[in-house]
Structure 1
Amino acid sequence: MNYREPRRWQQRRRVEWIDVDRNGKHPDNEAQRLIEFAGRWAPYGGATGEEILVNFGMTSLRFVERLWQVIPESTCGQEEIRSLASAYPLDRQTNRS
Structure 2
Amino acid sequence: MVEFALRWLPFGGPRADDILVTFGISTLTFARRLQEVLASDHPPRLSLAERNGLREMAAALGRPSERP
Look at both structures and tell me which one has the larger radius of gyration over its CA atoms: 1
Corresponding letter in the other structure for 1:60: T
Instruction: Tell whether the 8 Å contact from 1:38 to 1:47 is kept in structure 2 after alignment.
Output: yes
Q: Distance in 2 between matches of 1:86 and 1:70?
A: 14
Work out which structure has the larger RCO, using CA pairs closer than 8 Å and 6 or more positions apart in sequence: 2
Structure 1 runs (4+) deviating above 2 angstroms are: 85-88
- The secondary structure found in structure 1 opposite 2:54 is helix
TM-score, normalising length: structure 2: 0.78
Match among 28, 32, 41 for residue 61 of structure 1: 28
Percent pairwise identity: 34
Indicate the RMSD between aligned Cα atoms, in angstroms: 1.8
Residue aligning to 1:86:
56
Question: Once the 2 structures are TM-superposed, how far is the Cα of residue 77 of structure 1 from its aligned partner?
Answer: 1.9
Q: How many residues align?
A: 62
Is 2:11 aligned against 1:44? yes
What are the ranges of 5 or more consecutive residues in structure 2 without an aligned counterpart? none
